Amino acid sequence: MKGDRIVRADVHSVQRCVHENFTSAKNLSNIARRNDDCEPAEPADTVTDRLNALLRDSGPGYILTLCPKQTYLIQAPLAFGAANQEISTLGYPTGDERALIVVNGTINDDGTGHTTAVDGTCVSCSGLKLRNVQVDGARRGAPPVNGGANIEMGGEKNFDHLVEFVHSYDPRGWSCLHIAEGSLNCNSSLVQNNDIGPCGSDAFQEWADGISMGCMNSIVRNNMIQGATDGGIVVFGSPGTQVYNNTIWVLNHTLLGGINMVDYDPYNGNFAGTVVTNNSILGGFATSTETPGETLGNNFEGAIVK
């Protein structure tokens, strides 16, 4: 009998061990599946706080994965919290199935309020990535709101930011996409393969840029910008920056400038090494026929436009 009890005890121990190992493996599998999942848009009343908590608390390298075909009604900017983080849609789609982030916060009586969907300007947050999402500023024909662009990247002591396969449109503020210069120490941002616009209104001083670049030694390439109303691409000095293979056009809007390189600030007029080449600008005066007697203006500065 004693030996029988020992055998039974051993069998129970083995069964318990197998059960615990199976349960542990199952839990690990569940954890793995959760890590591969996307963060849902619902419940909508907590989505801003939930997503910002993940960005704030998850540390460098965290990827905030949004769900395809879901709409995120945010009440404040989604703010990156550490270097090398990423916000993207699960599976990296490039069409309408990309997650849609909608600016949905308060607009105040004094003309200020929520304007920015994604903020990547935290200090020393290099290597940030915004990929394969859509951003709707939800202005809907209202007057502009004083604040930032739909997307704010770059900024103080930041380098190697990436924005790609993003559709940004209808900003409440002054630009669909802004790469900020910081204290003239932002470096090496890459803006590519985005579809931008419409941006802003034809009404006087209610315009908005498509892409606004202030970060030096950066690249803006292969972007499609339709319906901007201030500048399709505006280069704020950004010494060493290359702008090429972009297409800018208008259908039902008035565009003040296809590619603008006219701002003295913030680099005190320094455009050294900035190269703008092989871009297409369509519509309005850009592709109209010449009037007899028209002459080219004089260029007294050290710049070449080709």
DSSP 21-68: HHHHHHHHHHHHHHHHS-B---SGGGHHHHHHHHHHHS-TT-EEEEPT
Both tokens assigned to 185: 């120490």
Alpha-carbon gap, residue 139 to 287, rounded angstroms: 30
- Give me the pLDDT at residue 295, please: 75
Count helices and strands in the chain by DSSP H and E runs: 2, 23
pLDDT tens per residue across all 306 residues of the chain:
444 444 444 444 544 544 444 444 444 333 333 435 999 999 999 999 999 999 999 999 999 999 999 999 999 999 999 999 999 999 999 999 999 999 999 999 999 999 999 999 999 999 999 999 999 999 999 999 999 999 999 999 999 999 999 999 999 999 999 999 999 999 999 999 999 999 999 899 999 999 999 999 999 999 999 999 999 999 999 999 999 999 999 988 889 999 999 999 999 999 999 999 999 998 765 566 777 877 766 656 555 444
Specify which residues 247 forms β-bridges with. 224, 280
How far is Cα 74 from Cα 87, in angstroms, rounded to an integer?
A: 14
Cβ-contact 217, 196 below 8 angstroms = no
For residue 6, the model assigns a pLDDT of 41
User: Which among 180, 246, 248, 255 is positioned nearest to 212, based on CA atoms?
Assistant: 180
Is 174 strand, coil or helix? Answer: coil
- Among residues 134, 226, 237, the alpha carbon closest in space to that of 186 is found at 237
Cis ω before 60 (30° cut-off from 0): no
pTM for the model stands at 0.83
Question: Residue 85, class by beta-carbon neighbours within 10 Å (0-12 exposed, 13-18 middle, 19+ buried)?
Answer: buried
The answer for 92, left when phi > 0, alpha when psi is -120 to 50, beta otherwise, is left
Distance of CA 240 to the CA centre of its chain: 22
pLDDT score for 284 = 61
The token pair at 29 is 């599998």
